Chain A
Amino acid sequence: MAAPMFFCVVVTVTIVKLLLIPSYRSTDFEVHRNWLAITHSKPVSQWYYEDTSEWTLDYPPLFAWFEFLLSHVAKYFDPAMLKVTNLNYASFATVLFQRLSVIVSDLLLVYAVYECCQCVQVMGKKNSPQLLSQPMFVLAVLLLWNFGLLIVDHIHFQYNGFLTGLKLLSIARILQRRHLEGAFWFSLLLNFKHIYLYIAPAYFIYLLRAHCFTRSNRDGRVQWTSLSLLNLFGLGVVVLEVFAISFGPFIAMGQLGQVLSRLFPVKRGLVHAYWAPNFWALYNIADKAATAVAVRAKLLSPDDITQATMTGGLVQEYTHNALPTISPLVTVILTLAAMMPALVHLWRRPCTPRDFLRCLVLCAFASFLFGYHVHEKAIILIIIPLSLLAVESRQDGQVFLLLSTCGHLSLFPLLFTQAETPSKVCLMLMFSLFAFMALGSLHGSSKRRPYCLPLLSPVETAYIIGLVLLQLYCSLGHHALGLTTRLPFLPLMLTSVYCALGVMGSWLKFYFTTLTSVQHLKQS
């Protein structure tokens, strides 16, 4: 891809971000403003103790330092936003500064995407005259115009852009087989936002397997004697150094326990107020159905049912009636169990960076599907690395189209204000139209079925059409039928359950292709 084209993609998406400045902002805006204030006006020792606002600092130390840096620019915009007691302060200058800080910090994402585009491996078509058939261009658009990142960062307000940038940078370094740099960027990332622990197992196994063990046996198994202590030592130094810089001061001050208790609060419920489209959404709905059946069959008396369950999402604590209630430990075990085949698969092969990428996607999938109190925004963690695979192979392209459509649609309830509806619909349409067109023309449509979306099978096409119909019902039909007062949560529940089916489906499909790819390797 020519550099000017990349530049144009960057500039246009930046303009889109600038246009979104006056959009609705969630409470996360106030969260980050409060963190600016805390880091600016309190000594480091107070950062993790300060609780004037309910939005206490609950990101790892490096993110706090990042806010500290930002606050020194912020004072030139509006010093009033840096007062801890100035709760819910949102002057025009504050909004402008915070929005611009997200847009500017996205430059790291831009650089990382550029690096990733250089790593794309595709035979043949690399310099096709048609823009839509150039994998690098397609990848750049899929990553930079990612619908989830755009709405979560630039409407809802968060800093996922530059964090994703760090992640992509570490992936790019690993794809270039610069393992130590990859490890460095990833440990940096972990110290910015600990949600990326979800994908840490993939890093751990891959770096151990490919960096510390230098040789494989004939059959692809690891050669245990080839452990390079030097490599292991180097890796350990890089990772521990980052952690030491980040957590060191707090350990020295004896605050580690306090910091960790802020980072991992355990008082939340199994599902978020709005169910993320994962396994637990299906579990909850199964519970509801089972409860209804049990009440009919007189196995359960209506008095035993906690009424909160029927409002479906109003309360955070969720008690199951017919099915067993899930404890955090169960979710951890299930998550690890879901990751295990992928990790074992990665370990037992002379693994390439692409195997690592697949394993990373599977780890993200497992934590999203089975994790405790998962937020729907975590779907971005899966979609972003999957984009890299989608431009390289047809099968992954299929999974990507299915997953990105239903995953992004499940983000719709995040923006519930009416004025944002056209924005999100337009952005989603643009992204999906582009993804379908680009991946369709990239992977050729030799066996193009009539009446099907590009790359998708009839069942998947029907699923996507159902998704559109469901969305129409939720945004128009439900209100028109006058059910808004009687069943206020039905649209949200339908959306998350329907999307959960799609996410589960794409997970199984992706797992299947990953585990069966051994045969492809042997054949070739």
Chain B
Amino acid sequence: MDTRFGTLCTAVVFAVFVRWAVSLNSYSGMGKPPMYGDYEAQRHWMEITTSLPLKQWYFNGTDNDLLYWGLDYPPLTAYHMWLCGKVAGWINPDWTALFASHGYESYEHKLFMRYSVLIGDIVIYIPAVLLYCFLQKKLSHLQKVLLSCVLLLFPGLIIIDYGHFQYNSISLGLTLWAVIAISHGHEVIGSAAFMLALCYKQMSLYHAMPFFCYLLGKCWEQRWKKGFVSLCCIGVSVLATFTFVWLPFLTEKDLFLQVVHRIFPVARGVFEDKVSNFWCSLSVVVKFRNFMSQEGLLSLCLATTLLGLVPSSLDLLFRPSIAKFKLALVNSSLVFFLFSFQVHEKSILLPALPVCLLLPWRPFTSTWFLTIATFSMLPLLIKDGLVIATLVTSVLFIIAVELGLQGVSSDPTIGCPVCMWSSKNLPWLPHRMFFYVVKSAFYASLMGALFLGLLSVVIPPPSSLPDLWPVLISVYSCLHFIGFTLYYHIVQLMAPGAKETTAQKAKKTQ
């Protein structure tokens, strides 16, 4: 047995172990009738997709009550649920019996559901992470193994998928496949993979803008004819993937429109529960629901989101490079998270994925962001009874980053363009001071998070303010996210484009 292969196996097995250990905890809505939680939603979709003909999946009807966890994800999720539902029905027909299975809970069923998440993860997300890490040419073998272990241990995704219960690792895994393909010049495959991610979960739209701008920018850079051809190839691949997935729903116009209507529920509120985004935090001070209509809010969200997307998108469009592409993924999804309509607290996983990809270059800030991202979901996780698992996996993650990447102890000023610029142009500034300030800010922020978490677990909120702790947590996290959005924007805008990098290299070789 090869030691190199052995270390890799050990790392992967460890990651799987952590996932499984988390899955022993409770899930959302466990034993809470009548609505239960996301676990019941997924189970219900298995029931609907296997019991009803495809045309009725998205329609309200006598057999399909859309108010009870109606299907509101794109078709690929529905197919996946159909497949899982078939297996579930084969194991035990009670699990997917129409109506009779509402709120079905048992030891075996929980096991089945947990296994279904694990299988999706092992098939799609884990190989993508391993491939991503092993394609980093500059790292030694051990560093690659350590990096993949760290990426696989990101607590937010583990807790939401294996604790709360969702299948985020599939859509995020598909996105990651797309990023890998595109960074290695396989634009056609990459765009198809991203299209699949979009067809699995509409939330992947948070990442759509950078994909679009990067691909367009790349084609723009090439010579006229070649660029046009590659643009056509990408377009064909996107359309073909879309048609392939949506084919059964394209037969009738009503059917298609109904699916789209279900996927984008504009009628729902601007945010769900307490989300650490801009609007939710603002609503603490300004009760804008009192003086703005739903449509007004919708257009306001749309306008601010689009405005927020402009800087990173334009920069990527005109100076495309892989580094900028990853940063733009962070920026665009963060802007969506902060400003868009109908945001869930779990949507922070979308910015978290590209931030994970930045870990080897910016370990310090990425760790900070990822920890706060996990923390921002705490109110939800407290509800699900996942506090211990969250705390333990977060500590594990920070230790893993420190061990694997020397992340927390690394110099946070490395790779920070502002610091490089200021040390070059403003030599009279005490840079060592800056280093300590950032370090202590990091620890202070973690302590603050720990303190807030402790408060919300231990002390019941005053009866006049039942939402006090969740609101405080979301405001606290939101301030962090705004700061990170600014930081990542600056990093992206100050990073050199691909052309400039090659020009610099050429200069150096001369």
Min CB–CB distance B183 → chain A (angstroms): 31
Bound-state CA distance A426–B17 (Å) is: 6
Contacts of A19 in B (CB 8 A): 18, 21-22, 389, 392-393
Max chain B Cβ within 10 angstroms of own Cβ: one of A20, A434, A437? A437
> A34-42, A217-225, A252-260, A416-424: which one contacts chain B?
A416-424
Bound-state CA distance A237–B24 (Å) is: 50
CB pair A429 B396 closer than 8 Å: no
Bound-state CA distance A22–B389 (Å) is: 9
B291 lies within 8 A of chain A by Cβ: no
A12 lies within 8 A of chain B by Cβ: yes
Min CB–CB distance B510 → chain A (angstroms): 38
CB pair B7 A437 closer than 8 Å: yes
Bound-state CA distance A423–B16 (Å) is: 9
**Binary CB contact string for chain A from 397 to 441 against chain B (1 if under 8 A, 0 otherwise):** 000000000000000000000110011001101100110110011
**Binary CB contact string for chain B from 384 to 400 against chain A (1 if under 8 A, 0 otherwise):** 00001100110110010
CB pair B388 A21 closer than 8 Å: yes
Min CB–CB distance A510 → chain B (angstroms): 23
With A23-B21, A436-B6 known, 11 other A-B pairs at CB within 8 A are A12-B396, A18-B388, A418-B111, A422-B16, A422-B17, A426-B16, A429-B10, A433-B6, A437-B6, A441-B3, A453-B1
Query: Which residue from B7, B114, B393, B399 sits with its C-beta under 8 Å from A12?
Result: B399
CB pair A437 B13 closer than 8 Å: no
Max chain A Cβ within 10 angstroms of own Cβ: one of B16, B24, B114? B24
Contacts of B388 in A (CB 8 A): 18, 21, 96
Min CB–CB distance B1 → chain A (angstroms): 6
B108 lies within 8 A of chain A by Cβ: yes
Bound-state CA distance A309–B310 (Å) is: 79
Please, which residue of chain B has its CB at the minimum distance from the CB of A437? B6
Number of interface residues of A (CB under 8 A): 29
Contacts of A433 in B (CB 8 A): 6, 9-10, 13
CB pair A423 B399 closer than 8 Å: no
Please, which residue of chain A has its CB at the minimum distance from the CB of B14? A430
B428 lies within 8 A of chain A by Cβ: no
Contacts of B108 in A (CB 8 A): 418
B107 lies within 8 A of chain A by Cβ: yes
Min CB–CB distance B392 → chain A (angstroms): 5
Contacts of B7 in A (CB 8 A): 437
B interface: dominant SS:
helix
CB pair B17 A423 closer than 8 Å: yes
Contacts of B6 in A (CB 8 A): 433, 436-437
Bound-state CA distance A132–B1 (Å) is: 15
Bound-state CA distance A106–B257 (Å) is: 61
B20 lies within 8 A of chain A by Cβ: yes
Evaluate whether A132 and B399 lie within 8 angstroms (CB atoms) in the complex, with A426-B17, A430-B14 already known: no
A interface: dominant SS:
helix
Bound-state CA distance A22–B289 (Å) is: 42
Min CB–CB distance B314 → chain A (angstroms): 44
Please, which residue of chain B has its CB at the minimum distance from the CB of A428? B13
Q: Which 9 A-B pairs rank lowest in CB-CB distance, beginning with the nearest? A: A426-B17, A19-B21, A437-B6, A422-B20, A22-B24, A18-B392, A15-B396, A433-B10, A429-B13
Please, which residue of chain B has its CB at the minimum distance from the CB of A92? B385
A104 lies within 8 A of chain B by Cβ: no
A11 lies within 8 A of chain B by Cβ: yes
Please, which residue of chain A has its CB at the minimum distance from the CB of B114? A419
CB pair B3 A440 closer than 8 Å: yes
Query: Which residue from A11, A18, A434, A453 sits with its C-beta under 8 Å from B10?
Result: A434
CB pair B24 A419 closer than 8 Å: yes
Bound-state CA distance A415–B125 (Å) is: 29
B25 lies within 8 A of chain A by Cβ: yes
Contacts of B25 in A (CB 8 A): 22
B403 lies within 8 A of chain A by Cβ: yes
Min CB–CB distance B385 → chain A (angstroms): 9
CB pair B13 A430 closer than 8 Å: yes
Size bin of chain B's contact surface: 20 to 34
CB pair A15 B1 closer than 8 Å: no
A230 lies within 8 A of chain B by Cβ: no
Min CB–CB distance B146 → chain A (angstroms): 11
Please, which residue of chain B has its CB at the minimum distance from the CB of A431? B10
19 pairs from A and B in contact (CB 8 Å cutoff):
A12-B399, A15-B396, A19-B389, A20-B24, A22-B24, A22-B25, A22-B389, A132-B3, A418-B108, A419-B110, A419-B111, A419-B114, A423-B17, A426-B13, A426-B16, A429-B9, A429-B13, A433-B10, A440-B3
CB pair A423 B20 closer than 8 Å: yes
CB pair A15 B392 closer than 8 Å: yes
Bound-state CA distance A433–B25 (Å) is: 27
**Binary CB contact string for chain A from 105 to 148 against chain B (1 if under 8 A, 0 otherwise):** 00000000000000000000000000010000000000000000
Contacts of B14 in A (CB 8 A): 426, 430
A454 lies within 8 A of chain B by Cβ: yes
CB pair B21 A423 closer than 8 Å: yes
Query: Which residue from B16, B21, B395, B396 sits with its C-beta under 8 Å from A20?
Result: B21
**Binary CB contact string for chain B from 246 to 268 against chain A (1 if under 8 A, 0 otherwise):** 00000000000000000000000
Min CB–CB distance B414 → chain A (angstroms): 22
Min CB–CB distance B155 → chain A (angstroms): 11
Bound-state CA distance A441–B2 (Å) is: 10
A8 lies within 8 A of chain B by Cβ: yes
**Binary CB contact string for chain A from 1 to 44 against chain B (1 if under 8 A, 0 otherwise):** 00000001001100110111111000000000000000000000
Contacts of B393 in A (CB 8 A): 19
Min CB–CB distance B402 → chain A (angstroms): 9
**Binary CB contact string for chain B from 281 to 305 against chain A (1 if under 8 A, 0 otherwise):** 0000000000000000000000000
CB pair A11 B18 closer than 8 Å: no
Query: Which residue from B17, B21, B110, B399 sits with its C-beta under 8 Å from A430?
Result: B17
**Binary CB contact string for chain B from 85 to 99 against chain A (1 if under 8 A, 0 otherwise):** 000000000000000
CB pair B20 A8 closer than 8 Å: no
Beta-carbon contacts under 8 Å, B101-145 to A? 107-108, 110-111, 114, 118
Please, which residue of chain B has its CB at the minimum distance from the CB of A422? B20
Bound-state CA distance A298–B393 (Å) is: 64
Contacts of B107 in A (CB 8 A): 418-419
Contacts of B1 in A (CB 8 A): 436-437, 440, 453-454
Max chain A Cβ within 10 angstroms of own Cβ: one of B6, B21, B22, B110? B21
Bound-state CA distance A418–B107 (Å) is: 9
Evaluate whether A8 and B24 lie within 8 angstroms (CB atoms) in the complex, with A15-B392, A18-B392, A453-B1 already known: no
**Binary CB contact string for chain A from 466 to 506 against chain B (1 if under 8 A, 0 otherwise):** 00000000000000000000000000000000000000000
Please, which residue of chain B has its CB at the minimum distance from the CB of A5? B403
Contacts of B3 in A (CB 8 A): 132, 437, 440-441
Bound-state CA distance A281–B115 (Å) is: 35
Min CB–CB distance A182 → chain B (angstroms): 34
Min CB–CB distance A150 → chain B (angstroms): 11
Min CB–CB distance A339 → chain B (angstroms): 36
CB pair A15 B22 closer than 8 Å: no
Contacts of B9 in A (CB 8 A): 429, 433
Min CB–CB distance B378 → chain A (angstroms): 18
**Binary CB contact string for chain A from 191 to 229 against chain B (1 if under 8 A, 0 otherwise):** 000000000000000000000000000000000000000
Bound-state CA distance A37–B25 (Å) is: 27
Please, which residue of chain A has its CB at the minimum distance from the CB of B389? A19
Contacts of A12 in B (CB 8 A): 396, 399
Please, which residue of chain B has its CB at the minimum distance from the CB of A454? B1
Min CB–CB distance A76 → chain B (angstroms): 14
Please, which residue of chain A has its CB at the minimum distance from the CB of B108? A418
Contacts of A418 in B (CB 8 A): 107-108, 111
Bound-state CA distance A373–B489 (Å) is: 69
Please, which residue of chain A has its CB at the minimum distance from the CB of B21? A19
Min CB–CB distance B176 → chain A (angstroms): 23
Please, which residue of chain B has its CB at the minimum distance from the CB of A417? B107
Beta-carbon contacts under 8 Å, A440-470 to B? 440-441, 453-454
Bound-state CA distance A96–B389 (Å) is: 13
Max chain A Cβ within 10 angstroms of own Cβ: one of B20, B110, B111? B20
